[in-house]
Structure 1
C-alpha cells in the first residue's frame, strides 16, 4: 500500500496501571482479589447533559441497551468511594509523583495546577457513571527512525471496574480494579507507517517500565487511532500484542478502502435505505430454520429493505469478515445474536422459496437486498434501527467508530466515537498546585532509561548484547544487579538465569512467584560457597517452585549438595583402585576414561576442575 498517497495517520493512547500502595482517591489496596465477593450492589445508568446541554453519542447508545449492572465488592478490600456512596478522598500524591516522573522522561511540559475532571462512561465500568481524570502534562516528544512523534497529553486517572460476565441484559463487574491509578499517554496522529506505531508503543512501554508501574496481563492497554484521507478516524481498543499492530493497521486501512469502494458503488446505483420495518413472521410458518422457529414462539421475525445493496453486503472488508459482519456488529449491540441478509441466503435452514416470498412481500428489484432479524420484538426492532443507521452511513462513507481489537488482527464494532460533550468538572476534589521546586527535584533524580541501562550493564558486567537486552526487556536488570552485588558467580550464569531459565520454568507451568530476590540470592550464594554447582541452579529453583521451603532444603532433598574435597578424594581413590590394571598399563593415559567414571559417579556434586586435579595427582603418585 502507498500509505503516503492514502493519507494514513495514526496515533496511540497507552493506559498503564501504576504500582502504588493505595488507589487514586481512597486507601484501598491496588490488588485484584480472587476470593468470593462479600456483598453486591445494583445499578442502572443513564446519560446526562454536559454544561452546554449536549449528550455524548456513545453514552446515549449505551443507554438504549437498557442494561442492569451488578457490582461485586468486599468489606475490607473495597470501600464506599468505589461504591459511589462516599465522596472521594484526597488525590494519591505517590501516583502524581510517578506521573510527573513519566512526564519528565517524555520531555513534556507539566501543568501548574492539576484539575480533576469527570468523564462520562455509562457502560457500567464505573459505578457513578463517570471516570475521574486530570491533565498532568502536554507537548512532549519521542524520536523514532521514521521521525519525531509528538506526545500530546499525559493524564492521571482511575482505572475502571473489572468485567466478570454478562447474561441477558445483566452485566457483572467487580470493584477491586476500580480506582487503581493509571496514566493515559496520548500521541498526536503524526505516525505514517505501520511499523512506526509498533516502535513508538514499544519505546513508551520501556519508559513506563523504568518507573513504578504494575506488570503482567491487563496492567497495560494500548488503543490505536487510525484514519486515511477519504475515510474516518477509528479508535481500536485493547491492542495487546505489539507485533500484531502493523497487521492491524493494514487490515483497518483495507477495511476503510473497501467501505469507500462500497460507498462509491452505492452512490452510482442511487441506493436508498428504507426506514420501515416489516413483520414477516407469517412467511416462515413451518420453517426449518432453528433460529427463526425459536423466534416464532415468543418473538418476531422482522425485515428491512435496502434499495441498490444487492451483492455489496457480502463484500469482504477485512480478512474473513464482510460488510454484512459490520452491520451485524451494530445489531448485536442491541442484544440479538445476529442477522440474515440476501447475499448469504438461502442458508441456515432458510430455503430459496422463503427468500423469494420475502422478496415478493417487500417488492424488491434485482439490485435490492433485505435484512432479517429474529428475536424478541423490542430487541429485534432496536437492532434493525441500528442496522438502518449504519447502512445509511455506508452511502455517505466511513463512520467514526470505536472498535474492539480481535486476536486475528481484525476489529469489530464497539460503539460510536465519543465526543467532548462527556467531560465536566469534578466538584468534590480541590485542585492541586504542582510546586516548581518539587518538579525540579524530580527532574534531577530521574530513573535510568532502558537503552542507557542496557548499554551500561553490557560494559559493566561484560554481558552479550542479547543477554543485556533480555534483562532490560523483561524488567530483570535491577534484580540481576542486586544478585551480582552479593555473589561472585560469573555474570553470564546469573544473567542467563534471569533472562531465560525463569522464562522456561514459567512456560513449563512452574509458579515462579516463589522465586523472589531473596531466594535467588541464596541460590547463587550456595554456588559461591561451593555448596552446589552452577549446573544445579535450575534444579534447585524447580524444587522451590514445587514446594521446597528454601533453596538449601531443595538442594539437600534433591541430593544436589556438593561433596567435600575429602569425600571426593575418597571416591577417586576407590575408582583408581578398582581400575588398577588400566592404570598400570596406561599410566597417565588412563586419565580420560577414569575422569568419565568419576563425573558419572559424582553426578554433578563436585566441581570438574577439582575432580581433574585430584585424579591427576592420584595417577602421578
Structure 2
C-alpha cells in the first residue's frame, strides 16, 4: 500500500526586542551569567504583575501581514497551565482562541512548482527558562524565562520532509527580512515542532498524529520526519496502531524516541489571563505597521531579474539573505559609477560563485568580512581594464578577505599587473612554439585543440601575468604563419 504523509509545523521564534515580554529585563540573555537577567515578574514572585511589550505585539502583527494573515481587532491573553521546573509561575502566559493573527499563508518553490501552506495562527507568548543536567542534578537558568516568543502554527498542508525543509528556510528568510528574529536555530532562537501522520494514498481521513520535537537544524527536521514517517508506515504494515504521543529526535542515533503521551489542548486548562486586559488592535495601528513592511524576498528577486538582467537562479541566491541582497545592490551602485563600468551581472556572478565559496571556507559573513563593495568593484574594474585576468583576480580576492587591503595596492605590491605588451608576449609565444615542435606539428596537422595546451605553456612562462586575449591572438597568428613555412 502507498502512504501519504500529513505534516503540520509549530515554529517558535524569539523576537529581537530589547526587553522581555512582560517585564523590563534585558532580553539579550545568551552570554549572560545564569539568573542575572531576572526580576520578580519573570521569576513569578507573588504580587508581581506583567505589562505587555508593545514592540513584541507590533513585530507579531508585522509578521502576520508578511504571511498574508488577518489581523483581528480584538485579542486576549490566556494562562496555559504547564507545570515544569523552568516555568517559575507554573503557568505560561500565551494566547489560545483569540490570537493576534490568523488565516494566512506562505508560498515557496518545490521543484519548480509553487506550493502554498496555510498559516493557521501566529500568536505571542513568553519563553521558558532552561534546564541543565549536571552530575545527577538539574540546574535552572531563568534568564530566558519571559523572552518574547512568537509561535507560527501551520495547517497540515505539508506532504514531505523536503517540503518542510524548504518551507522553514523560506519562513526564516522572511523573519530575517522583517528584522523580527535572528532565526538562529543553533542558539535556540528558532525552534520547530512537527505534527506528522500517515494515511493510505487517496484517503481523505487523517491518521493518528505524532508530535516530533528536539530538531535543531533544517537538516535534522528533514531526517527526523523521514524517520518518523517510515516508522509509522512500518507500524501500520505490521498490523499495529500508531499511538498519539510526543517523540524526541535523537540526532546521534538518527531516530525518534517516545517522550510522553500527547496532551490535548484542554489538558493545559487554558483560561483568560486575569492580570492582563484584552487588547484592541485598531485599523490605524495595523496600517502604520503595514507601512513598515520591507520589500519581500520574492519581490526583490523579481526586481533583480527585471532591473539587472539576472538569472532566476542568481537572483534567488542573492535574496536568500537580506544582508547579502543589500550588499549586492550597493556594489551595483558603485559599479555603475566606476571607470570602466562594472555591470550588475558581473558583480552577481562573482558574489554567487567565488565570494560565497571563499566566505564559506572562512566561516565569514557579509557583515563580518573585511572586503567592501568598493573593494569588489575596484577588483572587477582591474579585470575590465585588462590590468589583471580572472585567475589573478581570484588570488587578489583571497588576500583582500585576509588583510582588508585594497585590490589595487595588492596588485601593485606583488607585481601582478597583466602583461599586454605585444612585443614582449610575442617573444614568449615564439619561444614556446620553438620548444614544442611536436605539438606545433600536431596543430598544423589538424589537431587545433592543441592550441589551448600551448596557450597554457605561455601563461606558465609568464607566471599567469599575460593577457589571455592578447596571447591567443599572437599564438594563432604565429601558428598560422608556420603553416606556410
Distance 1:612 1:410, change over 3 A: same
Partner of residue 153, structure 1: 121
> Paired residue for 2:94, among 133, 143, 157?
133
Given that 1:3 and 1:192 are in contact with CA atoms closer than 8 Å, whether structure 2 keeps it comes out as no
1:441 aligns with 2:274: no
Given that 2:13 and 2:183 are in contact with CA atoms closer than 8 Å, whether structure 1 keeps it comes out as no
> Paired residue for 1:494, among 347, 360, 372?
347
1:220 aligns with 2:190: yes
Q: CA deviation at 1:12?
A: 1.6
Counterpart mapping for 1:303-314 below 5 A: none
In structure 2, distance between residues paired with 1:245 and 1:175: 29
1:520 aligns with 2:372: yes
Counterpart mapping for 1:431-510 below 5 A: 431-444=278-291, 446-475=293-322, 476-487=324-335, 488-505=341-358, 507-508=360-361, 510=362
Normalization by structure 2: what TM-score? Answer: 0.70
Distance 1:191 1:597, change over 3 A: closer
Distance 1:149 1:469, change over 3 A: closer
> Paired residue for 2:65, among 94, 100, 104?
104
Distance 1:92 1:256, change over 3 A: farther
In structure 2, distance between residues paired with 1:193 and 1:469: 22
Tell me the SS of whatever aligns to 2:294: coil
1:73 aligns with 2:52: no
Q: CA deviation at 1:534?
A: 5.2
Partner of residue 387, structure 1: none
In structure 2, distance between residues paired with 1:607 and 1:559: 19
Tell me the SS of whatever aligns to 1:519: coil
- CA offsets per residue over residues 148-170 of structure 1, 9 Å max, x none? 643211012333445554442x2
Distance 1:583 1:554, change over 3 A: closer
Q: CA deviation at 1:90?
A: 4.2
Partner of residue 556, structure 1: 410
1:24 aligns with 2:21: yes
Distance 1:473 1:399, change over 3 A: same
> Paired residue for 2:262, among 405, 417, 421?
417
In structure 2, distance between residues paired with 1:606 and 1:28: 59
Counterpart mapping for 1:598-609 below 5 A: 599-600=459-460, 603=463
Q: CA deviation at 1:236?
A: 1.0
Q: Runs of 5+ in structure 1 lacking a partner?
A: 39-71, 263-396, 585-590, 617-621
Tell me the SS of whatever aligns to 1:107: coil
In structure 2, distance between residues paired with 1:176 and 1:561: 56
1:404 aligns with 2:252: no
> Paired residue for 1:13, among 10, 14, 26?
10
Given that 1:231 and 1:257 are in contact with CA atoms closer than 8 Å, whether structure 2 keeps it comes out as no
Distance 1:186 1:560, change over 3 A: farther
Aligned length: 430
Q: CA deviation at 1:103?
A: 1.0
The structure with more radius of gyration: 1
Q: CA deviation at 1:436?
A: 0.9
Partner of residue 294, structure 1: none
In structure 1, distance between residues paired with 2:433 and 2:6: 79
Tell me the SS of whatever aligns to 1:512: coil
Partner of residue 479, structure 2: none
Tell me the SS of whatever aligns to 1:101: helix
Tell me the SS of whatever aligns to 2:372: helix
Partner of residue 254, structure 1: 233
Given that 1:575 and 1:594 are in contact with CA atoms closer than 8 Å, whether structure 2 keeps it comes out as no
Normalization by structure 1: what TM-score? Answer: 0.56
Distance 1:429 1:406, change over 3 A: same
Distance 1:445 1:258, change over 3 A: same
In structure 2, distance between residues paired with 1:255 and 1:73: 46
